[in-house]
Amino acid sequence: MKLFIDDAHLDEIKRLYEYYPVDGVTTNPSILSKVDQDPRKTLKEIREFIGEDDIIFAQAVALDADGIVADAHMIVDLLGKNTVVKVPSVPEGFKAIKQLTKEGIPTCGTVVYTPMQAYLAAKAGASYVAPYVNRIDNMGYDGVEVVKEIQDILDNSDFDCEVLAASFKNSQQVMELAQYGVGSATAAPSVIDGFVKNMAIDGAVQDFVNDFEKLTGKKAMTDLD
């Protein structure tokens, strides 16, 4: 499963890239609004940091298909290859996805709350569909189960599309979907940090250092004479 950072703060992206095996960055207008500068500057800085081989997702903001297509052109001109344009999975979005697919521009059908939206976005040509796990939970449904249903639909179709599961509140939800074979997930920095935030793990690592120090008086192999 590919793992993306769902954040636009460059310092956080740099920190996570240093420690974790991540595949790129996902953004949306709300995420970009948390960095107080022109969103084009933010996206460009992220692209410059992650390089041209990793994937960046940026969302079209216009509500009508022509505007979405125009936004997509601008996003791709700005960010180059390995850029995926997120498009809301609503009728104007499906129309735009069909057009962008004809042009060879990769898209992600986003704002997915139901399997039907995912089916239509995938059938329109989206390379990814992004169901919102936590937001579905908040509506009284089971977000993880909805993502599994969407994965089943894609597995039983010939669409060239994979799930980009999004909107997580904890790392266990991400792991359950990894186990199910979901292609991609994107999570906020706090959720990614949560994968290994565990006192038992920290304690076990520290025990090894303490035992080594008891034996040798040193804290690392390279401290030995």
- Residues taking part in catalysis: 86
Q: CB atoms < 10 A from the CB of 181, how many?
A: 12
The reply to whether 166 sits near ligand G3P by the rule CB under 6 A is yes
> What is the rounded distance in angstroms from the CA atom of residue 60 to the CA atom of residue 40?
12
DSSP 12-61: HHHHHHHHS---EEE--HHHHHTS-S-HHHHHHHHHHHH-SSSEEEEE--
174-179, long-range: CB < 8 A, 24+ apart: 174/3, 176/144, 177/1, 177/133, 177/144, 177/147, 177/148, 177/151, 178/1
The reply to whether 128 sits near ligand G3P by the rule CB under 6 A is no
The reply to whether 28 sits near ligand G3P by the rule CB under 6 A is yes
114, 134, 170, 190: which one binds ligand G3P (CB under 6 A): 134
The reply to whether 117 sits near ligand G3P by the rule CB under 6 A is no
> What is the rounded distance in angstroms from the CA atom of residue 87 to the CA atom of residue 105?
12
Retrieve residue 187's tokens.
């999570």
| Of residues 119 and 132, the one with the C-beta less far from ligand G3P | 132
| Of residues 8 and 68, the one with the C-beta less far from ligand G3P | 8
| Of residues 6 and 71, the one with the C-beta less far from ligand G3P | 6
DSSP 8-state assignment for residue 132: B
The reply to whether 135 sits near ligand G3P by the rule CB under 6 A is yes
The reply to whether 6 sits near ligand G3P by the rule CB under 6 A is yes
The reply to whether 132 sits near ligand G3P by the rule CB under 6 A is yes
| Of residues 31 and 55, the one with the C-beta less far from ligand G3P | 31
Q: Residues interacting with ligand G3P, by CB under 6 A?
A: 6, 26, 28, 31, 130, 132, 134-135, 166-167, 186
